[in-house]
Amino acid sequence: MKVYVLNGVNLGRLGTRQVDVYGATTYATLVELCEKTGSQLGLDVECRQTDAEAELVGWLHQAADERAAVVLNPGAWSHYSYAVRDACAMLNGPLVEVHISNIHAREEFRHHSVVSAVATGVIAGLGVDGYRLALEHVFHLLDR
């Protein structure tokens, strides 16, 4: 089963951006973790990252057309992008929203995600391990 791990704005800067908040794991290491986890679970995992909102929306449309599962970290778009939210609402497969930091323990504007209401589930504050857990959850949903 195809699972897209989609990452939004600024996530390509992992390991160098606000290490105290997001940790020292690089984006390349995150991709390795997701691909390894997917391989262990028998999932066809494809990781992508963009700083262009329209590109992310296009990838979500592709996932909807393919009826694929999505693990999504929209980054800051979580808090205000109705375009990303509406594209997520079109998905036919599971959608797990992931946040590396605990968005509820940060600035007030980060406490709400417009994406969460259309997600199958949300994982926040568990660091990059949240991606592994999201992929395991997707596997269990698809295995039913």
Amino acid 137: pLDDT: 98
pLDDT in tens, 104-121: 777 776 778 999 999 999
Helix, coil or strand: residue 93: coil
Q: What is the spatial distance between Cα 33 and Cα 106, in angstroms, rounded to a whole number?
A: 26
Please state the φ and ψ torsions of residue 4, each to the nearest 5 degrees.
Answer: -90, 130
67 annotated among ligand-binding-site residues = no
* 17: Cβ contacts below 8 Å, ≥ 6 apart: 10
79 annotated among ligand-binding-site residues = yes
- Domains, the chain, ranges and CATH? 2-143 (3.40.50.9100)
pLDDT in tens, 57-95: 999 999 999 999 999 999 999 999 999 999 999 999 999
Active site positions, annotated: 22, 99
Q: What is the spatial distance between Cα 45 and Cα 34, in angstroms, rounded to a whole number?
A: 7
- Which percentage of the chain shows pLDDT scores above 90? 78
103 annotated among ligand-binding-site residues = no
Name the pLDDT band for 21 (thresholds 50, 70, 90): low
Q: Is 130 exposed, middle or buried (0-12, 13-18, 19+ CB in 10 A)?
A: buried
